Amino acid sequence: MSKVAVVYWSGTGNTEAMAKAVEEGIREKGAEVSVFGPSEFDASKVDEFDAIAFGCPAMGAEVLEETEFDPMFTAVESSLSGKKIAIFGSYGWGDGEWMREWETRCNNAGAVFAVEPLMVNEAPDDDGIASCKALGASLV
């Protein structure tokens, strides 16, 4: 059975709602899924998983959350070469700059996207939830 990790940060629950749907999509496809907060995940765990979904909203001024998520991702990204990944997150008023920069970082690290990055405005609606489930399924 394939093993997939979901690693996310959420301040007000929108990215968390996305992460729960991602988790469901992975499970429905028959894989084993483990969910982590940023403080629970590090580079030594990357090889335990066939694929990883990372989730983080737009924070600061169009950046990843800087206290927990970005330090974790910075430590992990050099281990992502050849790893199947997906990235997702919620945003408010921006144009998705944080997600474009994050995608570039992942590509520079040599990660392999299973699906396009997924961003949802504030709380995910039914379409957003369906897209999150599909993102999860694409990692299996």
Question: Does the protein bind ligand FMN through residue 61 (CB under 6 A)?
Answer: yes
> CB 138 → ligand FMN: shortest distance, Å?
21
> CB 109 → ligand FMN: shortest distance, Å?
23
Stretch that binds ligand FMN, among 21-29, 59-67, 70-78, 109-117 (CB under 6 A): 59-67
Per CB under 6 A, the list member of 7, 59, 64, 114 interacting with ligand FMN is 59
Q: What is the DSSP string of the chain?
A: --EEEEEE--SSSHHHHHHHHHHHHHHHTT-EEEEE-GGG--GGGGGG-SEEEEE---BTTTB--TTTHHHHHHHHGGG-TT-EEEEEEEESSS-SHHHHHHHHHHHHTT-EESS--EEEESS--HHHHHHHHHHHHHT-
Question: Does the protein bind ligand FMN through residue 110 (CB under 6 A)?
Answer: no
> CB 120 → ligand FMN: shortest distance, Å?
8
* Residue ranges binding ligand FMN (CB under 6 A): 10-16, 57-62, 90-94, 122
